[in-house]
Every structure is written in C-alpha cells, then in structure tokens.
Amino acid sequence: MKAYKGFNRNDDGTLSCLGFVYEPGKTYRHEGEIEICESGFHACHELWQTWPFYPNNGKTVYYEVEFGGDIIESDNNTGKFVCSEIKLVREIGMTDVARFDFAWGFSDGFAVVKLDGKWNLINTEGKLLSNQWFECVGDFNEGFAVVVLDGKYNFINTEGDILFEQWFDDAGSFSEGFAAVKLDGKWNYINTEGELLSGKWFDDAWKFSKGFARVILDGKWLKINTKGEIV
C-alpha cells in the first residue's frame, strides 16, 4: 500500500529518520512489536500530513513509500501510522510539494492555498505558514487570520502561531483591534491579548467600524464602543 514519509538528508547524502538510515528501493522489516512513536517504521497516508513532522526546511526529503506487515494507526487524527515493513519507492520533487488544488491571490504577503481538502497559507517565497492544515482559513486582517480546526475557530498570526488557547464556535476577522467571537450560542469581542471587551454576551455581533459595532441583545439593536460600553 502507498503512503508518504519525510526524511532528513544528511551531509553524506544518506536519508535518515530518528537516526535510522534508509536506502531508496530497499525493503526494511522490523523485528518485534511496533508502537507509535516508539518502534517500527512511521509514515503518513497523505503527503501534507508529513509536513508537521518534517517541515520543508531545505534539508527535508519526501518519499512515496510502500508499507505492509503489522500496522497501528495513530489515534490523534494526524494520519500518522507505524508499520513493520516499508520500502522507499520514489522521491517526491518540490514541484509535487508546491502544487496545490486551489489558491487565492496574495493579501498582506500571504495567499490561502488548498491541498487534499485542507487549507493553509504560503508566503511570497512559497513557504507554508503553519505545520498544521486547517478545515478553513481566512485572509489576514490586522496581522491575524481566522482558522477552523475540528469545527472550532481561532486565529493565526504571521509567524504561524495560534493566538488563543480557547477555541470558539464561530469568529469574525479583526477590525480596529477586536474580533467578534461566539461561544455557547452568544457573541462577545476579544482583543489580541485574549481579553473580552464586554461583561455581556450578545445574541449577535458585527465588526467594529469607526469606533463602534452593532450588537443585538434581548432582541434589541444596540451599539457598543471599544471600551465595552453600550451607547
């Protein structure tokens, strides 16, 4: 069966993963029990799933592999698995790595790209912003973009860092320093430090413009300012 694996290219040209040296075209068999992240040969079902483990840093090499024998799947939805038999079939060239199924135009130095049903961002040099691939990614606004993972919303900065530990049920883009976020059916605003703007949670909320944002509370349309005050 076909899968994908990343390797370090050593100074002598050999390929290694966790200290084990591989040769293309050679079949390797592990003797004994296999265990995720402990023993056996690891690979991923899709090419993009290898990138969190082996980011494209100039020394990484990607291979299409054939695997067999005993197999144990990872239980954390990374697409990673361990097997007792593996063979390096062919190197995946950079033209394969850099080809996407869909791409938006560049905005603020980044473009949203899609591969195998997942989304990420690339910079103008073609480098992926994040090792994590998402269900959806928005454009950057004020240095942050909305991302969706496992049905939950958060924000990513231009360094590829996820902004908050808390993930939300929905979220809008940042505007004038605040983003509308939804949790348990109600809306509020959050700043880049993770601080909520208001002690009240609203039925609906829109982005800030010229210092004010529209909100709905108990069926009434109101406005809130950047101090969290209803006006």
Residues 6+ apart with CB under 8 A from 43: 3, 4, 5, 50, 65, 67, 80, 81, 83, 86
Q: How confident is the model at residue 100 (pLDDT cuts 50, 70, 90)?
A: confident
181 and 140 within one domain: no
The CATH number given to whatever domain includes residue 117 is 2.40.10
Q: Which of 165, 184, 215 is the last residue of a domain?
A: 165
Q: What is the mean pLDDT of residues 151-161?
A: 96
122 & 147 share domain: yes
Whether 132 and 79 map to the same domain: the answer is no
Bigger pLDDT: 77 or 161?
A: 161
Q: What is the pTM (predicted TM-score) of this model?
A: 0.60
Same domain (yes/no): 140, 191: no
Same domain, 78 and 54: yes
Of 136, 165, 194, which closes a domain?
165
Same domain, residue pair 44 and 73: yes
- Mark whether 106 and 57 lie in a shared domain: no
Say yes or no: 136 and 147 in one domain.
yes
Mean pLDDT of 42-57: 82
The answer to whether residues 168 and 146 touch, using CB atoms and an 8 Å cutoff, is no
For the chain, percent of residues with pLDDT exceeding 90: 70
- Residue after which a domain boundary falls, among 165, 182, 204: 165
Specify whether 172 is located in the same domain as 159.
no
Give me the number of domains the chain comprises: 3
Does 181 lie in the same domain as 155? no
Residue 53: pLDDT over 60 = yes
Based on the fold, state whether residues 86 and 145 are members of the same structural domain: no
Residue 147: pLDDT over 70: yes
Tell me the pLDDT band of 146, cut-offs 50, 70 and 90: very high
Task: For 12-35, write each residue's pLDDT tens digit.
Answer: 889 999 889 999 999 999 999 999
State whether 19 and 71 are in the same domain.
Answer: yes
Q: Which has the minimum average pLDDT: 50-54, 147-151, 190-194?
A: 50-54
Parent domain of 182: 168-231
